[in-house]
Amino acid sequence: GAVVSQHPSRVICKSGTSVKIECRSLDFQATTMFWYRQFPKQSLMLMATSNEGSKATYEQGVEKDKFLINHASLTLSTLTVTSAHPEDSSFYICSANRQGWGDTEAFFGQGTRLTVV
Partner 1 sequence: GDSVTQMEGPVTLSEEAFLTINCTYTATGYPSLFWYVQYPGEGLQLLLKATKADDKGSNKGFEATYRKETTSFHLEKGSVQVSDSAVYFCALNPGANNLFFGTGTRLTVIP
**Contact positions toward partner 1, by CB under 8 A?**
4, 6, 9, 32, 34, 36, 38, 41-44, 46, 49, 93, 95, 97, 104-111
Helix segments in the chain, DSSP class H = none
- In this complex, which beta carbon is closest to partner 1, that of residue 64 or of residue 85? 64
CA pair distance 29, 11, nearest whole angstrom: 27
CA pair distance 115, 100, nearest whole angstrom: 37
What is the closest distance, in whole angstroms, from the C-beta atom of residue 101 to partner 1 in the complex?
Answer: 14
Instruction: Residue 74: count other Cβ atoms within 10 Å of its Cβ.
Output: 15
Using an 8 Å Cβ cutoff, are 109 and 21 in contact? no
What is the closest distance, in whole angstroms, from the C-beta atom of residue 74 to partner 1 in the complex?
Answer: 16
- In this complex, which beta carbon is closest to partner 1, that of residue 36 or of residue 67? 36
First to last CA, the chain: 37
What is the closest distance, in whole angstroms, from the C-beta atom of residue 87 to partner 1 in the complex?
Answer: 20
- In this complex, which beta carbon is closest to partner 1, that of residue 66 or of residue 111? 111
CA pair distance 98, 81, nearest whole angstrom: 26
What is the closest distance, in whole angstroms, from the C-beta atom of residue 66 to partner 1 in the complex?
Answer: 20
- In this complex, which beta carbon is closest to partner 1, that of residue 15 or of residue 29? 29
